[in-house]
Structure formats: C-alpha cells, structure tokens
C-alpha cells in the first residue's frame, strides 16, 4: 500500500533467465512441450525469491531490525550498474533506463548487511502516510482491525520516512525530511 507517492519499483533483483524448479506436470512453457524438472524462467516471480532470501539473511544478521529497516538496507545499498559495470540497460536492446525502471537499483546482498544508515518507520507512521493520502476510517479499519481516526493534521506523505522520495504535482520548491539511524561499525 505504499505505492501512492513512493517511487516504484523499490528494487531490482535477479529475474532474467533464471534456472528454476519446474513442475513436471507443466509442459506449456517448455521448448519441446515435454515434462521437465527445471526450466529457464524470467520475471518478477523469479526476482521476488531472491529479494526475500536477502531479507531473511539480513534479519538473521540483525534480528532486532524491522521490515522497514531491512527494506531500507536493501534499497540504499543497491547499485545502478549491471554485472559488466555499465549502467543498467533495458533488455533486450540495452537502451538507457531510469529509476522508474529499476527503482533503487540492482540488489547488492553483501552491502545490504552493513548499510550504515537506515530509514525506519513504524506501523503508526504507515497509518499517518495513509491518512495523508485520504484514507477513510473504514479503510484503516480494514488494515488495523479496529476503528482508527486520522490526526487532524497528518504528516505529509512526502515526509514518510522511506528510502525513496515521491512528490506529485510539484510546483516550485519543497523541503522533505527523513530520519536515519546509524548502524555502522566505525565512529560517525
């Protein structure tokens, strides 16, 4: 539900031509239309397990971190370079891409274990974000399970403590605010 004014996608993971387990009863997408145990698959269904695995590794390394902190570590340590050290290109022709294509960039599992600074938020921050985007008490009840009222002046959605910034209908200048927590090993 964070897609209202955050930039999407959040992150890019390995998802093109992944050798993956394949049900032997599924023959439709195999080259020879025959039963196989493995297949080459592409798409978000391949990228998602890679990102989930990195999140699990981060959680085991930092057990006290919230899901938001883990997501921040993944997003803020991503790279916009591909495996040949060139800017991420659009497949199949390699034309230039933008953050609207790859989000924060391609996941860097090792770097995400020690991101230094982390953007974190609580469930109340998420409710404030929804309120600032016009969520009604009944919509909030669907999420929380209880009747929830928005604050009279909710925090503007562009100040949601998220590792990306999205401002719609910007006319002029605007300051946005974030709070980070330092988890680095060295003095700051």
Question: Is there a domain that residue 23 lies in?
Answer: yes
Q: What is the pLDDT of residues 94-114, one digit of tens each?
A: 788 888 888 899 999 999 999
Lowest mean pLDDT across 32-36, 56-60, 105-109, 144-148: 32-36
- Residue 1 confidence (pLDDT) above 50: no
Which of 112, 119, 122 has the alpha carbon at shortest distance from 178? 119
Give SS3 for 165.
coil
What is the distance, to the nearest Å, from the Cα of residue 88 to the centroid of all Cα atoms in its chain? 17
Question: Is there a domain that residue 149 lies in?
Answer: no
Question: Is there a domain that residue 90 lies in?
Answer: yes
Question: Is there a domain that residue 128 lies in?
Answer: no
Q: What is the pLDDT of residues 166-185, one digit of tens each?
A: 887 888 999 999 999 999 88
Q: Which domain holds residue 115?
A: 18-121+161-182
Q: Please, what's the largest Cα pairwise distance for the chain?
A: 62
Q: What is the pLDDT of residues 119-134, one digit of tens each?
A: 999 988 999 999 988 8
Question: Is there a domain that residue 188 lies in?
Answer: no
The number of distinct structural domains making up the chain is 1
Question: CA 11, CA 102: separation in Å to the nearest integer?
Answer: 6
Which of 162, 157, 136 has the alpha carbon at shortest distance from 147? 136
Do you find a cis peptide bond into 9, omega within 30 degrees of 0?
yes
Question: Is there a domain that residue 145 lies in?
Answer: no
Q: What is the full DSSP assignment across 56-84?
A: HHHHHHSTT--HHHHHHHHHHT-BSB-TT
Confidence bin at 89 (pLDDT 50/70/90): confident
Question: Is there a domain that residue 13 lies in?
Answer: no
Question: Is there a domain that residue 67 lies in?
Answer: yes
- Per residue in 6-36, is it b (16+ CB within 10 Å) or e — as a string? beebbbbbebeebeeebeeeeeeeeeeeeee
């Amino acid at each position: 539900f964070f897609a209202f004014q955050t930039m999407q996608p959040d992150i890019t993971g390995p998802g093109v031509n992944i050798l993956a387990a394949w049900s032997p009863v599924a023959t439709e997408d195999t080259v020879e239309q025959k039963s196989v145990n493995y297949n080459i698959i592409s798409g978000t269904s391949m990228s998602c397990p890679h990102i989930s695995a990195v999140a699990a590794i981060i959680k085991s390394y930092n057990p006290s971190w919230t899901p938001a902190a883990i997501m921040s570590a993944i997003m803020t340590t991503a790279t916009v370079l591909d495996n040949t050290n060139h800017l991420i290109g659009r497949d199949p022709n390699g034309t230039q891409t933008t953050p609207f294509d790859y989000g924060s960039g391609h996941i860097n599992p090792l770097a995400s274990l020690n991101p230094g600074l982390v953007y974190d938020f609580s469930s109340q921050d998420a409710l404030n974000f929804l309120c600032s985007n016009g969520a009604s008490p009944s919509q909030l009840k669907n999420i929380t399970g209880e009747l929830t009222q928005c604050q009279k002046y909710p925090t503007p959605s562009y100040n949601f403590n998220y590792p990306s910034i999205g401002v719609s209908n910007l006319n002029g200048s605007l300051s946005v605010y974030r709070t980070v927590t330092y988890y680095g090993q060295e003095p700051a």
